Structure formats: C-alpha cells, structure tokens
Chain A
Amino acid sequence: MNCDLARLILPEYLSQSLGESQELAFAAHLATCDACRAETERLGSLWRGLALLPDTLPEPGANVRDRFYESLAAYRHGLESAPKHGFKEKLAALWPKQAAFQMAISFALLVMGIGVGYEMQREKPVQPVVGSELAQLRGEVSNMRQMVALSLMQQQSAGERLRGVSWAYRVESTDTEVLSALLTTVNNDDSVNVRLSAVGALHAFGASPVTRAAIVQSIRKQTSPLVQIALIELLVDLKVTDAAPELKRLASDNTIDLSVRERANWALGKLLQ
C-alpha cells in the first residue's frame, strides 16, 4: 500500500469500517511510514473529538414535538375528509401493473362475456342469470386478487413481495390462505421492510383468534426491534388484552432491546386501562 491509497482509506480506518485484509495492509503501511502514522494520530484525535460534539449542541424544544403531532393530526383529518375516489379510480386501482396479470384478467373477462352472451341467446330469464353471473364475477375477482397477492409474496425481489403484501389489503378478511402467507412473511421474510408491511396488513385479519395468537407468538421470533414494536402496536390497535402476560415478560426481559421493552410497558398501560 502506498501513501495515496492510505490517505484515501484513512477515514474508513478511523471509523473501523475497513475489511480485515485492508485494515491489516493499512496497519502494515503505518508500521513503515512515519508521515502516515503521524497523520493518522492527528486526524484520529480530531475524529474521536467530533463524536463528542453532538453533545454540545442544543436539544430541539418541546414545541417541536407538539407541532409535529398537531400537523400529523390535521393531515390525517384532511385525508379522511377528502372526497373519496370515484368509480373510475377504484376500477383503475384494481387493475394490476404486470402484463401477465392483465392478460389473465382480460382472458377471464372474455370467457365470462362469451358465457353471458351464450346464456342470453338461450333466452333464459334475465334476472336470475345476471344475479348468478355477478356472483361468479365477484368470485373470480376475489380469486384473482388472492392469486396475485399469494404469487407476489413468493417473489425473490423484496419490492415485488411488498406489492404482494399491498394486494393482501384487497382480499376478504376471512381468506385463510392469504392470512397464512402474511404470517409466514412476518416471521420469515429476509427484509425488515416487507415484514413491517405485512404486520400492517395483518390488521384487517385482527378479528381472527388465530391472527391474535400468532401476533403474540411472533414478537419473540423477531430479530428486528422495529418489527417487534410494530407487532406490539398492532396488539394495542386490536385490543388483544390476552397479550398482557407476554407483554409483562417482554417488559422485564433485559435481553430484549430497550425501546421494545419501553413499548411493551406502554402497551400494557393501554391494554389494562
């Protein structure tokens, strides 16, 4: 290693983010180069001093928090009171973005159209046929949403799996297959973002005792405090009072992240009010 390269990786050496081989090479260079060793000592001293500077800065005032929560409440109020989407927008939202799903839906609609036309030609009474076709159409759409959600949740890409989770919001809350896929995602997905998103989607399934028990069991399986906190907040949202004993255990378990323990304490207060 020469001096130019050593200077380039000096900040990484100071922040201890070099790989093992580079760190060894850097240390070997310092052992033979007085100038680089002196510079590393001087800049290292400043680097460590910089880490203490944030403590000399002021804290934000208490009004910052108050203003934020007021603004958030106002924003949510504005969203809720905004005019809902019209029929066209709702229909457009149902339309998937992937060409394969678009073709599948088009084909299903074509087949149904032919079927309806055939039935009408046979001059059957109109009302019962339309009623049954509508029920069938609803069933088809429901199945299609389920299929899209399940297939996207099994994709390699985290982005696709996130889209799958968002499709889970559109299925019936009694759909056990999608519920099972969501629980698997919450417990096993590699991406914290996907797990967090799946926790949010579980809210719609909160009436089921299976969901409520699974949320409680999932907290300890999580490696991310973020997901643990999201699960605890979901327990409060769903008013799962049965979770109180587990929350007490979490709150007093010193091996658990401090922010999770604090959130568990907060949840206990909310649930036992």
Chain B
Amino acid sequence: MAAVGSGEVQKLAVLFERHHRGLFRYFVSMNRNRELSEDLVQDVFFRMLRYRASYDAQQSFTAWMYQIARNASVDQAQKRRGEVIGIDEFTEHKPDLSPGPEESAVRGQDLRLLRLALDRLPADKRELLVLSRFQGMKYDELSTVLGCEVGTVKVRVYRAMRALEQAYLTISGEKTA
C-alpha cells in the first residue's frame, strides 16, 4: 500500500488479488446479498485509491482496509435506506467434511445450523466473529477497526461467543421439536 500511496497505483492490483475474496466474504456474511457485496468490494478498492495518502505505513494495512470496508457498508446502507434488500440463500458451497482433520474438530456439528445461528446474531456480534474468525484479525487490529480498547474487544468477543452458543442451542431445539 505504501507503493500505491507514493503514486504507483497499478500496485493496487496486488492488494486486490490478495484481499478481494476476504472482503467479499466479510460483506456477504454481514448482508447476505451477493450483488451488493460485489459492489462494496469495488467501492472499497476505489476508496483505497482516493484516500491512499491517508494510509500510515506504521499502521496495520488489514485494519485500515476494514475501517474503509465498514464505512463503505454504512454509506451503502444509508443510500439504500427504505429499500428492501434481497437475502440470498447460499447452498452451492458445501465443504467436504468426510475425511480430514476438520471432522474431529467439528464433532458432527451441523455447519448449516451454525451458519443460521451466526446469521441470527445482532450485526455487531456477528461482525466481531467474522472479523476475528474468518479474517483472522488480532485483537489489536480489531480494536483499531472498531475504535475501542483491546480489553473491550476481548469482553465483546467472549459475549459474542456466548450469544452464538445460545442461538445455536435455540435453533437446534427448533429443528428437533
């Protein structure tokens, strides 16, 4: 990003190839809409170009990028206020759980139930889990993105996990009832 900031805008292509899938997954986890998420990915990279001078090389690039992503998401929501946004049902991707180490890690949990439970969480809790677990962000990066202390992030991640457990148990009960 430092190279992009110093005028080599073509280097943004390297960052795009590295991060656009992660960004897309972040957006689609938050809004469940493929088309809107694709637009937001474009918007984030365009904003990186516009605000490239504001990037501080001392700062985590990932944290900076997700700050932009959150702003883009908020702006998009304001623009579309009042519109009904379609919720896509994603069924085309099913991970192969039969062989491999993941099976024992999941211990037979139904990933579909877990995904439904995650979708039921309030946006702030879902975002926290998506950023920390899907994007692998560290607590100090999360504190930059969310604008709060590292200690607060720890408490919020714990609460989000407890809320996820509650939602998972509720959905499991609904399915078996």
Q: Is A75 interfacial (CB 8 A cutoff)?
A: yes
**Chain B residue total in the interface (Cβ 8 A):** 61
Residues of B within 8 A of A48 (CB): 105-106
Known: A43-B165, A64-B20. A54 touches B42 (CB 8 A): no
CA distance A60 to B90 in the complex (A): 12
Q: Is B77 interfacial (CB 8 A cutoff)?
A: no
Residues of A within 8 A of B53 (CB): none
Assess whether A7 is in contact with B165, with CB atoms less than 8 Å apart: no
Assess whether A56 is in contact with B94, with CB atoms less than 8 Å apart: yes
Q: Is the interface of B mostly helix, strand, loop or mixed?
A: helix
CB distance from A238 to the nearest CB of B (A): 14
Residues of A within 8 A of B57 (CB): 158-159, 162, 191, 193-194, 197
CB distance from B62 to the nearest CB of A (A): 13
Q: Is A61 interfacial (CB 8 A cutoff)?
A: yes
CB distance from A29 to the nearest CB of B (A): 15
Per-residue CB contact flags for chain B residues 128-166 toward chain A (1 = under 8 Å, else 0) read 010011100011000000000000001101100110110
Task: Give the contacting residue for A53; candidates B3, B6, B107, B118; CB below 8 A.
Answer: B118
Q: Is B24 interfacial (CB 8 A cutoff)?
A: yes
CA distance A11 to B159 in the complex (A): 10
Assess whether A57 is in contact with B29, with CB atoms less than 8 Å apart: yes
Q: Is B125 interfacial (CB 8 A cutoff)?
A: no
Per-residue CB contact flags for chain B residues 4-48 toward chain A (1 = under 8 Å, else 0) read 001011111110100011001100110000100110011001100
Q: Is the interface of A mostly helix, strand, loop or mixed?
A: helix
Residues of B within 8 A of A54 (CB): 25, 134
CB distance from A78 to the nearest CB of B (A): 10
Q: Is A8 interfacial (CB 8 A cutoff)?
A: yes
Chain A residue at minimal CB-CB distance from B135? A54
CB distance from A207 to the nearest CB of B (A): 19
**Chain A residue total in the interface (Cβ 8 A):** 52
| Chain A 14-68 residues near chain B, CB threshold 8 A | 15, 17, 42-43, 45-61, 63-65, 67-68
Task: Give the contacting residue for A200; candidates B3, B41, B106; CB below 8 A.
Answer: B3
Q: Is A253 interfacial (CB 8 A cutoff)?
A: no
CB distance from B130 to the nearest CB of A (A): 9
Q: Is B58 interfacial (CB 8 A cutoff)?
A: yes
Assess whether A69 is in contact with B161, with CB atoms less than 8 Å apart: no
Listed by A's residue number, 29 A-B pairs whose Cβ atoms lie within 8 Å are A9-B154, A11-B154, A12-B139, A45-B109, A46-B109, A46-B165, A47-B161, A49-B109, A50-B114, A50-B129, A51-B105, A53-B134, A56-B111, A57-B25, A58-B88, A60-B24, A71-B46, A72-B45, A76-B9, A76-B10, A159-B58, A166-B6, A191-B57, A196-B2, A197-B2, A197-B57, A199-B3, A200-B8, A230-B3
Extra contacts besides A57-B29, A60-B20, A60-B21 (6): CB < 8 Å: A17-B139, A50-B114, A52-B97, A53-B115, A197-B3, A200-B11
Task: Report the 8 A-B pairs with minimum CB-CB distance, sorted nearest first.
Answer: A55-B95, A48-B105, A60-B24, A193-B57, A50-B133, A11-B157, A200-B3, A193-B2
